[in-house]
Structure 1
Amino acid sequence: MKTYRQIWEAPKAFRSDKWDHYLDLYDRYLAPYRDGRAITYLEIGVQGGGSLCVAREYFGPEARIFGIDLDPASRAVEEAGIADRVFTGAQGDFDFLNEVIAATGTPDIIIDDGSHQQGDVVGTFLALFPVLAEDGLYVVEDTHTVHYPSHQDTTLGINFYDYFKGLADKMMPDFMVPNRHRARFREHPEQREGRLERRNTIGTAIGGLHFHDSMIVVEKTPYREAWRRNA
């Protein structure tokens, strides 16, 4: 099979732009989803449509490919039969996002290459990560815009880098319960009584949190209570 880079660099009907190192990162994170299943792919920020062209070839004809963009002209990639649908609207409009998810069903992969505004990035993640598939992938592109004065719009009082860095300790909620880890976590999970309080439903669903130059990748996995196994 062709790599993401090979597909991107070949001639295609629609064009977009990406930083060169993204192409290899996408192969690293997207390759596990090329296993024959009919994945649902949703990209925020269609621009010229080139990345949806790549997604279509990369994942094959059975994949369901969707896009979101403010510019109605981005629907050309849908009209060409490459994307299943391109929705016109703002990622900061949560009613609109709910309508998109109602139409697409559960996404397996979400790419945020949209406004890159601080509030939009965090708000979109809060809205869409909970509806992502249990083994899904969430990618935020162009995170270097955290340094741009033009991309500081937010009502949340926090920039998106600080938000995502703050998720790191939320991945370990079991250990926030005082003294439980010394006894409970040495027992087989099937032998334990009751359930621990899950303090952060987003944190407990994160299986991996990766920071790259200009990109953040969040892997979603089903929650499993911690277990310290004995040899």
Structure 2
Amino acid sequence: MKSYREIFEAPKRFTSDKWDHYLDVYDRHFARFRTGRPLTYLEIGVQSGGSLCVAREYFGSTARIYGLDIDPNSKAAEEAGIANRVFIGSQSDGAFLTSVLAEIGAPDIVVDDGSHSQADMVGTFLALFPRLAPHGCYIVEDTHTIHFPSHQRSDTGLNVYDYFRSLPDKLTLDFMVPEARRDRFRTPPESRTGDIRTRNAMAHSIGSLHFYNSMIVIEKAPYREPWRRIL
């Protein structure tokens, strides 16, 4: 199968504007989805539609490819038969995002290449990540816009790095419970009873966080309690 880079660099009907190193990051995190089973791909920020062209070829004809953009001209990718649908609306509109999810179901992949405002990058993640498929992948692109005065609007006073840098330590909240550290986590999971309920609701479903130049990748995974195997 062709790599994401090979598909991106080949001639295609619509163009796309991406930083070169993104192409290898996509392959690193998207390759596991190329199983032939149907998947749902949602890209926020369609622009001229080139990345939807790449997604269609990369994931194949069974993939459900969706776009979301504020520009009605982005419907061209849908009209050309590349995207199953391109929704026209703002990612900052929570009701609109809810209506999109009601139609497409749980996405396997979300790529946020939309407004790049700090408020939207954080707010859209909070709205969509809980609805992502259990082993899904969420990408926030062009996070270097943190340095652009025109993109620094924030509803909470947090920028995109303030928020995502706060998550790694939330993945280990289980270790706040002393008896769990000493006894529970040394017991095979099938022998344990009850639940530990100290975890942050969002971090509960994060499997991994990856920080790249101008890009953050969050992979979802069902939560598993730690187990220190003593052999």
State the partner residue of 1:111: 111
User: 1:193, CA displacement in angstroms?
Assistant: 1.8
Q: Aligned pair 1:70/2:70, yes or no?
A: yes
Q: Aligned pair 1:170/2:170, yes or no?
A: yes
State the partner residue of 2:194: 194
CA offsets, 1:15-35, max 9 Å, x none?
120000101111111011001
TM norm structure 2: 0.98
State the partner residue of 1:228: 228
CA distance in 1, matches of 2:24, 2:225: 33
Quickly say closer, same or farther: Cα 1:87–1:198, change in 2 above 3 A: farther
CA offsets, 1:46-99, max 9 Å, x none?
001000000000000000000000001000000000000000011010100000
CA distance in 1, matches of 2:173, 2:39: 30
Q: Aligned pair 1:161/2:161, yes or no?
A: yes
State the partner residue of 1:85: 85
State the partner residue of 1:37: 37
Counting matched residue pairs gives: 231
User: 1:198, CA displacement in angstroms?
Assistant: 4.2
CA distance in 1, matches of 2:132, 2:41: 10
Q: Which runs of 4+ in 1 moved over 4 A?
A: none
State the partner residue of 2:208: 208
Residue ranges of structure 2 left out of the alignment (5+ in a row): none
CA distance in 1, matches of 2:75, 2:198: 41
Q: Secondary structure in 2 aligned to 1:20?
A: coil
CA distance in 1, matches of 2:65, 2:143: 24
State the partner residue of 1:21: 21
TM norm structure 1: 0.98
**Most deviating of 152-161 and 77-86:** 152-161
Residue ranges of structure 1 left out of the alignment (5+ in a row): none
Letter in 2 for 1:100: V
CA distance in 2, matches of 1:57, 1:198: 43
User: 1:179, CA displacement in angstroms?
Assistant: 3.7
Letter in 2 for 1:115: S
How do 1:99-138 and structure 2 match up within 5 A?
A: 99-138=99-138
CA distance in 2, matches of 1:162, 1:152: 12
RMSD over equivalenced CA pairs, Å: 0.8
CA distance in 1, matches of 2:93, 2:20: 31
User: 1:176, CA displacement in angstroms?
Assistant: 2.3
Letter in 1 for 2:146: V
Q: Secondary structure in 2 aligned to 1:110?
A: strand
CA distance in 2, matches of 1:195, 1:54: 43
**Most deviating of 194-203 and 1-10:** 194-203
Q: Aligned pair 1:139/2:135, yes or no?
A: no
CA distance in 2, matches of 1:109, 1:162: 23
User: 1:160, CA displacement in angstroms?
Assistant: 0.7
Contact kept, 8 Å, 1:198 with 1:204, in 2: the verdict is: no
